[in-house]
Structure 1
Amino acid sequence: MLVDNHNRKINYLRLAVTDRCNLRCNYCMPSEGIDFVKNDKLLTIEELSTLSEILVGQGIDKIRITGGEPFVRKDLMVLLRNLSKMRGLQDISVTTNATLIGPHIDELKTLGIRNVNISLDAINKATFERITRRDQYEVVHDNLMRLITEGFNVRTNFVVLSGQNTDDILPMLELTKNFDVSVRFLEEMPFNGGSRNFDSIEWDFKKILAFIRKNHPDYYKLESPTTSTSINYKIPGYVGSFGVIPSFSRTFCGSCNRLRISAVGDVITCLYAKPCMNLRSVMRSANTTENVQKLILDAVGSRAKTGFEAQQKYEGVFSNSMTSIGG
């Protein structure tokens, strides 16, 4: 079992498989993209599988595959097949923009991988294309509806952007009226590849909730796990639910159970901290298991208590793009 220096059990790994993405969302990176890493710097699928197995042996029982866009990686399904056979791993999930998942939906179902988070910041086509700078709306919408209707546990992640997509908040909520889906609204974070700097946000989780309450005054709060990053609610008569994630306000730090490893092997103990070590060379040397286990113990043994504490220790952390740190 992994327990950090604040007595928090760490059982959830967010594992990035690539820093590349086929969209260019304007809150995530500049229009020209970022300097993506060379392929030889990425952990191989075999290394990602071995690393996952080591961490499962240390008590990780939930792994979320992230990117970039995970399905940009052509060999992703090999990793997912390996994970699906891993004893002790109870929950495998994927975060995706849903542009490339279509051909893999049947196999995901066969593997028992039913938890899919879809990054979707607009339900209106024009707004979607303006934010993503790509013409992929129909593909995303079709894959979203297929996942919902074929029984996947679908959550959509909607980053609320002042002046860009707030008109889509209520229409996005309507998705929960007839479908068992969770629509989650996230506060914007400053991880955008340096394209914009800010110290505060207009649309924090309190404003999002107040805006929804004006139109749905009878929504009520749901019970959520103590480690949940989202505060979850339901509108009476609606099949699905909605939530808010205070990703900028960071109200959930006290129960954080997450560890992040980037596609190049960087270990990140807090989203608002810089990597504390890199595992790539260790994965390519002798005594891999013992060395990785020791380094992971060292990492979780020196975590910041909150994202605010972590942020104070590092300069330039916001120059990163979310696509490079795995979300």
Structure 2
Amino acid sequence: MLVDNHNRRINYVRLAVTDRCNLRCNYCMPAEGINFAKSDKLFTIDELGRLSELLVSQGVDKIRITGGEPFVRKDLMVLFRKLASLKGLNEISVTTNATLIGPYIDELSELGIKNVNVSMDAINRETFEKITRRNQYDVVYENLIRLISEGFKVRINFIALEGQNTEDILPMLELTKHYDVSVRFLEEMPFNGGSKKFQTIKWDYKTILQHIKNQYPDFYKLESPDTSTSINYKIPGFKGSFGVIPSFSRTFCGSCNRLRISATGDVITCLYAKPSMNIRNIFRQEKSDQKVKQKILEAISNRAKTGFEAQQKYQGIFENSMTSIGG
């Protein structure tokens, strides 16, 4: 079992398979992109499978595959097949922009991988295209509706961006009226490859909630696990639900059960901290499962208590892009 220095059990790993993405969302990276990692710096699929097996042996029972956009890797389904075979791994999920997932939906369903987070920051086509800098709205919307219709547990992640998409908050919420889907509204975070700097945000989770309350004053709170990053709600008569994620306000740090591993092997114990080490190098140099497991234990034994504490320790952390951190 993985337990950090604040007695928090770590049972959830966000595992990035690539830092590349086929969209250029303006809150994530500059229009020209970032310096993406060379292929030899990325984990191979075999290495990702072995790493996952070691993590599960240490008590990890939930793995979320992230990127970049995971499905830009042509061999991704090989990893999903491996994950689906691991005993003790109770939940496998993926975060995607839903542009490339279409051809893989049937096999994901067959493997029992039914938890999909779709990053979609606008329901209005023009707004969507301005934010993503790409013309992919129809593909994303069609894949989204297909996933919902075919029984996947779909969560839409919508980042509230001042001056860009807040007019889409209520229209996006309308999806939960007609579909059994969860829409989660996230606070903007400053991990954008250095394209924008800010110390505060206008659209924090309280502002988002008040905006929704003005239209739907009778929504009520749902019970959520202690480790949940989202605070979840339901509007009477609606099929789905909605939530807010205080990703900038960081109200959920006390129960954090997550570990991030980037596509290049950086072990990230807090989103607002710098990497603790590079586990890919250890994989390739030591070739010892026990050494890898020991290094993971060392990484979580020195975690910051909160994201605010981590931010104070590490200067320049906001120069990173979310696509290189791992979603």
TM-score range, shorter chain: over 0.9
Q: What is the Cα deviation at residue 286 of structure 1?
A: 3.7
Q: What is the Cα deviation at residue 155 of structure 1?
A: 0.1
Instruction: Measure the CA separation in 2 of the matches of 1:281 and 1:68.
Output: 21
Q: What is the Cα deviation at residue 288 of structure 1?
A: 2.2
1:44-86 CA distances to partner (integer Å, 9 max, x unpaired)?
A: 0000000010010000000000000000011100000000001
Residue 160 of structure 1 corresponds to: 160
Instruction: Measure the CA separation in 2 of the matches of 1:193 and 1:281.
Output: 24
Q: What is the Cα deviation at residue 285 of structure 1?
A: 3.0
Instruction: Measure the CA separation in 2 of the matches of 1:178 and 1:22.
Output: 30
Residue 133 of structure 2 corresponds to: 133
Residue 23 of structure 1 corresponds to: 23
Residue 70 of structure 2 corresponds to: 70
Q: What is the Cα deviation at residue 273 of structure 1?
A: 0.3
The residue correspondences of 1:3-82 to structure 2 (distance < 5 A) are 3-82=3-82
Residue 270 of structure 1 corresponds to: 270
Residue 305 of structure 2 corresponds to: 305
1:208-243 CA distances to partner (integer Å, 9 max, x unpaired)?
A: 000000000000000000000000000000000000
Residue 318 of structure 1 corresponds to: 318
Residue 208 of structure 2 corresponds to: 208
1:120 alignment partner AA? M
Give the paired residue count. Answer: 327
Instruction: Measure the CA separation in 2 of the matches of 1:291 and 1:17.
Output: 22
- Secondary structure, counterpart of 1:9 in structure 2: coil
Instruction: Measure the CA separation in 2 of the matches of 1:325 and 1:208.
Output: 26
1:279 alignment partner AA? I
Mean Cα deviation higher: 159-168 or 280-289: 280-289
1:305 alignment partner AA? K
Q: Which runs of 4+ in 1 moved over 3 A?
A: none
The residue correspondences of 1:177-188 to structure 2 (distance < 5 A) are 177-188=177-188
Mean Cα deviation higher: 287-296 or 146-155: 287-296
- Secondary structure, counterpart of 1:270 in structure 2: coil
- Secondary structure, counterpart of 1:295 in structure 2: helix
- Secondary structure, counterpart of 2:195 in structure 1: coil
Instruction: Measure the CA separation in 1 of the matches of 2:266 and 2:24.
Output: 23
Residue 197 of structure 2 corresponds to: 197
- Secondary structure, counterpart of 1:13 in structure 2: strand
Residue 219 of structure 1 corresponds to: 219
Q: What is the Cα deviation at residue 114 of structure 1?
A: 0.1
Percent identity (aligned): 74
Q: What is the Cα deviation at residue 287 of structure 1?
A: 4.2
- Secondary structure, counterpart of 2:31 in structure 1: coil
1:311 alignment partner AA? Q
- Secondary structure, counterpart of 2:93 in structure 1: strand
Q: What is the Cα deviation at residue 283 of structure 1?
A: 1.1
Instruction: Measure the CA separation in 2 of the matches of 1:11 and 1:288.
Output: 22
Q: What is the Cα deviation at residue 26 of structure 1?
A: 0.3
Q: What is the Cα deviation at residue 139 of structure 1?
A: 0.0
Structure 2 unaligned regions, length at least 5: none
- Secondary structure, counterpart of 1:157 in structure 2: strand
Q: What is the Cα deviation at residue 280 of structure 1?
A: 1.2
Instruction: Measure the CA separation in 2 of the matches of 1:58 and 1:293.
Output: 8
1:124-146 CA distances to partner (integer Å, 9 max, x unpaired)?
A: 00000000000000000000000
- Secondary structure, counterpart of 1:83 in structure 2: helix
For residues 31 and 146 of structure 1, do their structure 2 counterparts lie closer, same or farther at Cα, with a shift above 3 Å needed? same
Name the TM-score, length of structure 2 as normaliser: 0.99
1:104 aligns with 2:77: no
Instruction: Measure the CA separation in 1 of the matches of 2:279 and 2:229.
Output: 27
Instruction: Measure the CA separation in 2 of the matches of 1:186 and 1:79.
Output: 28
Mean Cα deviation higher: 236-245 or 273-282: 273-282
1:190 alignment partner AA? P
Q: What is the Cα deviation at residue 271 of structure 1?
A: 0.2
Instruction: Measure the CA separation in 1 of the matches of 2:53 and 2:288.
Output: 12
1:85 aligns with 2:82: no
Instruction: Measure the CA separation in 2 of the matches of 1:90 and 1:80.
Output: 13
Structure 1 unaligned regions, length at least 5: none
Residue 239 of structure 1 corresponds to: 239
1:299 alignment partner AA? A
What RMSD over aligned residues (CA atoms) do the two structures have, in Å? 0.5
2:208 alignment partner AA? I
Q: What is the Cα deviation at residue 100 of structure 1?
A: 0.1
1:307 alignment partner AA? G
Instruction: Measure the CA separation in 1 of the matches of 2:234 and 2:224.
Output: 12
Instruction: Measure the CA separation in 2 of the matches of 1:296 and 1:288.
Output: 13
1:35 alignment partner AA? N
- Secondary structure, counterpart of 2:285 in structure 1: coil
